[in-house]
Amino acid sequence: MVAQSFITQTVQRLSVMGVPVHVLADYSDWLLTRLSNRQGSHVVTLNSEMAMQAEATPELAKVMQQAELIVPDGAGVVLYLRLFGFKVKRCPGIELSESLLKKAAEAAPPLSVFFYGGAPGVTELAKRKWQSKLPSLNVIGTEHGFHPPEAEAKILERLAKLKPDIIFVALGVPRQEYWIAQHRSVCPQAIWVGVGGSFDVWTGQKNRAPGWLRDNNLEWVYRLYQEPWRWRRMLALPQFAYRAIQDRLTQGLPSS
């Protein structure tokens, strides 16, 4: 368990369409502080599509309400909050995960990490790539996400035995959020992070948008270019934009 101490941070709790959003100076340090205090954390990286899904799906909304940390991952979430006067900096989930990996490797002793999800072979490749960058990184296990339901019990038994400090789960949204909420009691003191397609990016299966697109909140354009089949999902973006304007006209500040 991490023995380092970190500066206590004030958490600003905002709301996007009823979904909590937490704003911090340093998200990874805050999570490691909780870890040092043996407090478990479920991390959700919120984008506009997820906010729309949560409004339409009470079960998903409940999972998000119970998560200890929801970061403003998507550009739409940041722009929504700016409509209400909150100048919030975007926190891409992949960058938060990379920060956690670096700090896990730097801890004394190094924190233990587990990669779960993705296609067969991807998590193991991600492990090798990260350990080549950070030789002290302690990835104590990997498991892909393509397995029959009857195999899940053994995976959970393995997690319970290993007790990793940080568990990255890549099962896609919202499946990974449901999975973490259902099984986090297996390692109640761990940091659980839904990482979506981060393993694919880390292993070169996919590329992130160029920096100038990310800086201008246009990463979704590049994602659509890479995966044109996502166009139906992208229809949530104009719907979210309309809803953001509507909320701004009818509601006060979204702080809770």
Q: Where are the domains of the chain?
A: 1-15+109-199, 211-250
pLDDT digit string (tens) for 127-166? 999 999 999 999 999 999 999 989 999 999 999 999 999 9
pLDDT digit string (tens) for 34-91? 999 999 999 999 999 999 999 999 999 999 999 999 999 998 999 999 999 999 999 9
**Helices and strands (H and E) in the chain: how many:** 13, 8
Query: Could you count the other beta carbons within 10 Å of the beta carbon of residue 79?
Result: 17
* Local structure of residue 185 (DSSP, 8 states): G
pLDDT digit string (tens) for 220-256? 555 655 665 554 565 667 788 888 888 988 876 544 4
Hey, what CATH topology would domain 1-15+109-199 get?
Rossmann fold (3.40.50)
Cα 183 from Cα 114, distance rounded (Å): 14
Cα 220 from Cα 236, distance rounded (Å): 12
